[in-house]
Structure 1
Amino acid sequence: DDTTLAGALERLCATTGARHRLAARLRVTGVPAPLPTAYEVTLLRIAQAGLANTVRHAGATSAEVTLDYRPDGVTVDVADDGAGFDPDRPPAPGPEGEGFGLTSMRARVRALGGTLTIASAPGRGTTLSARLPRTAPGERA
């Protein structure tokens, strides 16, 4: 039963949308399959951080979280229609510091053999994408 990650992402979108002026929605694509707990935790944290950054920096009106199950892995994307930024010059951390900034997100994804990419440009919104392979390093298929 793999309702846990999709359910958690659904709740995250609902609470983010209720607390902030942001229409956040979840889209699930592909065939859902059970994931290692480490994957679920990491992907949920990345979605949380992505939406938090959207709320804090982007001035977006909508965001879409996509959970995409593929035969070779799983991807979580957080896309917004906000201000965007130059990914080579990320915004300075806020006064409260970045509890879960891009650097630590990238490290967590890399530790599981995955990749984290950011597509953004000023005025064009931002898409944060975390992709994990079907089997984590050191785990049997």
Structure 2
Amino acid sequence: MRPVDWCRSSAGAALVLATSNDEQHPAENVADGSSETFWTTTGMFPQEFIIGFPKCVKISKVSIQCYLVRTLRIERSVSKDPVGFEQCIEKDLQHTEGQLQMEEFPLPDFQATYLRFIIKSGFDHFVSVHRPGADLCQIQR
């Protein structure tokens, strides 16, 4: 059985916040589950987006498909509201000219109601996020 990706709108996820919006590539694209659509930042760093889950979930790994992201931080909250975030991961990503960066972060016994993805810096003035992912172990509450 394939794990559920909780970062998809079809699984009940919702984009709660994005620090920039481009009309042709809006932030809502990060939750549609497609690598073909994407959110593009509109310059300046840091940039961030927050995805909320329908419940507190236990996640086995977090992943991201993006382009031109240099430094990424992922934070989580287990609150009912998107507050009280704690850092989980911060990583410098490899530059992959002409192709998507694909990163996976195993997180054993990891629970979250919200995930905040912070793009601290990029390899260019603009970066894109095609598909964040959070594979479910089980629903907690």
- Of Structure 1 and Structure 2, the greater helix share is in 1
Q: Which has the higher contact order (CA 8 A, sep 6+)?
A: 2
* TM-score band, normalised by shorter chain: 0.3 to 0.5
Which of structures 1 and 2 has the bigger CA Rg?
1
- Of Structure 1 and Structure 2, the greater strand share is in 2
TM (norm. structure 1) is 0.33
TM (norm. structure 2) is 0.33
